[in-house]
Amino acid sequence: MSRRRRRTPAALVRARPEPAFEISLDGRPLPALPGQSLAAALWAAGVLSWRRTRGSGRPRGAFCGIGSCHDCLATVNGTPNQRACLVPARPGDAVTTQEGHGRAGLAV
């Protein structure tokens, strides 16, 4: 009986991904992989929500995954209203849970 090798998509294309790096969500360190969006890295870490709606404070996270719905808005490195599904994860990125429209601390 021959041993079967474990076939994964990465193995099939002979991919050699670079090592994981760290991002943070509200100060909590989380792993991310090169090529992942922030939303994908958060999902992979088990985080499903990183924004609260303005009126009712209901939790939101990635919904469409292509930047159309704006449910995945987050504050990234101090900049509010970033669509986490479109922002590539980079080493050291600081993601902060966004409350409402993300401008609560700004004079309007």
Q: Give tens-digit pLDDT for 41-99.
A: 999 999 998 888 888 888 888 888 888 888 889 999 999 999 999 999 999 999 999 87
Q: Tell whether the model's pLDDT for residue 2 goes beyond 60.
A: no
* pLDDT band (50, 70, 90) for residue 105: low
| Residue 86 vs residue 10, higher pLDDT | 86
Residue spans of the domains in the chain: they are 27-99
State the sign of the Cα–Cα–Cα–Cα dihedral 87, 93, 97, 103: negative
Q: What is the pLDDT of residue 104?
A: 47
- State the fold for domain 27-99: Ubiquitin-like (UB roll) (3.10.20)
Q: Tell whether the model's pLDDT for residue 9 goes beyond 80.
A: no
End-to-end C-alpha distance for the chain, whole angstroms:
72
Q: What is the pLDDT of residue 32?
A: 96
CA distance 38 to 36: 6
Q: What is the pLDDT of residue 5?
A: 65
Segment 1-13 mean pLDDT = 70
Which regions of 46-101 does DSSP assign to beta strands (E)? 51-52, 59-60, 73-76, 79-83, 94-96, 98-99
